[in-house]
Amino acid sequence: MEEIVKAETYKGLYGMHKYWGKKPFNVICEFIKKYSKEGDIVLDSFCGSGITLIEALKLNRRAVGFDLNPIAIMLTKASLKRVDIKILKKEFEEIKKELEPLINSLYETTCEKCGGIAYETHVIWNKGEPQEVWYKCDNCKLKKVIRKGNDYDKEQCENPRIKPLWYPTTAMFENSRLNVREGQTVADLFTNRAIVALSYLLDRIKRVKDPIIKETFEITFTGALSQASKLVFVIRRRNKNSTSGKEETGRAEVGSWVVGYWIPEEHFEINVWNCFENRFKKILKGKEDVNKTFSKEIAFYDEFNSLKYSKSGALILNASATDIDIPDNSIDYVFIDPPHGNRILYMEMSLMWNSWLGLEFNCDWENEIVVSEAKYRNKNVDSYSKMMNLALLEIKRVLKYGCYFSLAFNSLDDETWLEMLNMCIGTGFNVVDISPLGYSANSVVQDNRKNALKTDFVITCKKILNQKQKE
């Protein structure tokens, strides 16, 4: 790509839910424009949160997407489905009316100013003890009062007075890199009180009748999970007027979910209702953006032929890139951004989301293309290369002759990068272009000089008839 487009940040429909490895949408859009035309069928067989498909549909292409991770498919579809904002808001108000008081009752405390009932918004736990409590008092119109934690706070959190409804007790894969120890379950990522609140919230969401509204609340729920968990670390800024020169405990700020399932010794516990309401605000903005972006309802098909014989629409399935149910020579352009070795363990990292929605039963752990240190998973460099190769062969098979295939890849070590390039060539593709993805030309030059590839690259290949076939 001669002109390098600057990556834009994720907001609106791209900012509804976290997913790892999202690629800059405006850059992908340029690739789709360059290598396909209106009406064409664009495939991303590692679609993740769906950026390629969203861009393709925005550009009046038809879209086909696969991902092995069930939540990825759900998020992709959620970014494409229009929703009636009025009904969505109304349902939210009803959920709020029913559940805010119940959830808040789990966080009750006494206001030190007026003696009335107040509600904890945050508790900072340190080595299992409530160190600091933040609460709000509507009576005194105070949004944040800070006091020390006490035994009662501990009791209230550890033995909540309401019993939980259903919640996931799914076992996680032991993996020291992700800080998952032997025997750990998804429930261990939350305080007992958060489990109660979340279980009630989920139960209520399951009873929403309209399927699209229900799905919208399900992703609001999963989107809120990390902030509602024990994975939120405490940011301590150094006190400005510190004279001792030593690190001092400064004001605490709320961090977020960073890497793996690391539960910091000092972590926040945030009122579950607040987490849900804050996430809903983002989802609402996202859905307004979806309605604006796609003025017409997108048709979703469940098999390729129906899409092939219609002018528009999408086929988006929870399936493996290594075994695509599409006839030979039927795709006009492919853009993929596959997993990069052991960089991100997508399915292990999504287990927290998938398990709450009961989607872990749809997780095809065996077919995931990834390098993982998890015990019992047997995901090594070898199996990664083999399966990646299968996925590339499938792409080659379904792509039409004379059409293009782009692959985004980021690798800090040149070897992996070369291997990927060789794999493309080995599959029989002709490499026609290699461009950096979404950064300024300068930074690429600098990277090259240091002999390290620090940015994302896009390899574009063409499917051509080989000599034998030509003859």
Ligand X SMILES: C[S@@+](CC[C@H](N)C(=O)[O-])C[C@H]1O[C@@H](n2cnc3c(N)ncnc32)[C@H](O)[C@@H]1O
Binding site for ligand X (CB under 6 A): 19, 21-23, 45-46, 48-49, 51, 66-69, 72, 320-322, 337-339, 346-347, 367-369
Only one of the segments 13-21, 42-50, 114-122, 317-325 lies at the binding site for Zn ion (rule: CB under 5 A); that segment is: 114-122
- Amino acid, res. 289: D
Which of ligand X, Zn ion, none lies near 55, with the C-beta cut-off 5 to 8 A by kind? none
On whether the CB atoms of residues 226 and 208 are closer than 8 A, the answer is no
Q: Where do the H-state alpha helices sit in 106-187? A: 151-158
Q: Under the criterion CB under 5 A, does residue 113 sit at the interface with Zn ion?
A: yes
Q: Which of ligand X, Zn ion, none does residue 114 bind (CB under 5 to 8 Å by kind)? A: Zn ion
C-beta of 107: minimal distance to Zn ion in Å? 15
Q: In degrees rounded to 5, what are phi and psi of residue 68? A: -80, -20
Smaller CB distance to ligand X: residue 130 or 339? 339
Whichever of 73 and 194 has its CB closer to ligand X, that residue is 73
The entry of ligand X, Zn ion, none near residue 113 (CB within 5 to 8 angstroms by kind) is Zn ion
Q: Residue 72 or residue 133: which is nearer to ligand X going by CB?
A: 72
Q: Which of 382, 437, 15 is nearest to 223 (CA)?
A: 15
Among 42, 137, 187, 202, the residue binding Zn ion under the rule CB under 5 A is: 137
Q: Are 196 and 269 in contact (CB under 8 A)?
A: no
Place of tokens 């690429």: 444
The yes or no reply on residue 145 touching Zn ion (CB under 5 A) is: no
Q: Which C-beta is closer to ligand X: that of 180 or that of 407? A: 407
Residue 51 contact, options Zn ion, ligand X, none, Cβ 5-8 Å cut-off depending on partner type? ligand X
For residue 343, the minimal CB distance to ligand X (Å) is 8
Could you say which DSSP state residue 359 is in? G
**What b/e sequence results for 213-222 when a residue is b if at least 16 CB atoms lie within 10 Å of its CB, and e otherwise?**
bebbbbbbbb
Q: Can you tell me which of 11, 26, 98, 114 binds Zn ion, judged by CB under 5 A?
A: 114
For 296-338, the DSSP string reads: SPPPEESSHHHHHTSSS-EEEEE--TTS--S-SS-EEEEEE--
> For residues 173 and 273, which CB has a smaller minimum distance to ligand X in the complex?
173
Q: Contact between 140 and Zn ion (CB under 5 A)?
A: yes
Q: Which is nearer to ligand X, 233 or 335 (CB)?
A: 335
Find out whether 263 and 189 touch, Cβ atoms under 8 Å: yes
* Cα–Cα separations (whole angstroms), residue 176 to 173, 181, 220, 260: 10, 7, 29, 9
Tally of CA atoms within 13 A in the half-sphere of 330 that contains its CB: 15
Shortest spacing between CB 459 and ligand X, in angstroms: 15
Partner that binds at residue 139, options Zn ion, ligand X, none, CB closer than 5 to 8 Å by kind: Zn ion
Is residue 117 close enough to count as binding Zn ion by CB under 5 A? no
Write the CA distances from 279 to 41, 140, 305, integer angstroms: 34, 26, 38
Nearer to ligand X, 119 or 353 (CB): 353
With CB under 5 to 8 Å by kind, the binding choice for 111 among Zn ion, ligand X, none is Zn ion
Instruction: Report the nearest approach of ligand X to the CB of residue 51 (Å).
Output: 3
Instruction: Decide if 353 contacts 64 (C-beta within 8 A).
Output: no
Q: Give the residue closest to ligand X by C-beta.
A: 48
Say whether residue 111 binds Zn ion (CB under 5 A): yes
Which is closer to ligand X, CB of 388 or CB of 461? 388
As a whole number of angstroms, the distance between CA 59 and CA 33 comes to: 8
Distances 65 to 76, 253, 354 between C-alpha atoms, Å: 9, 39, 19
Write out the residues near Zn ion by the rule CB under 5 A. Answer: 111, 113-114, 137, 139-140
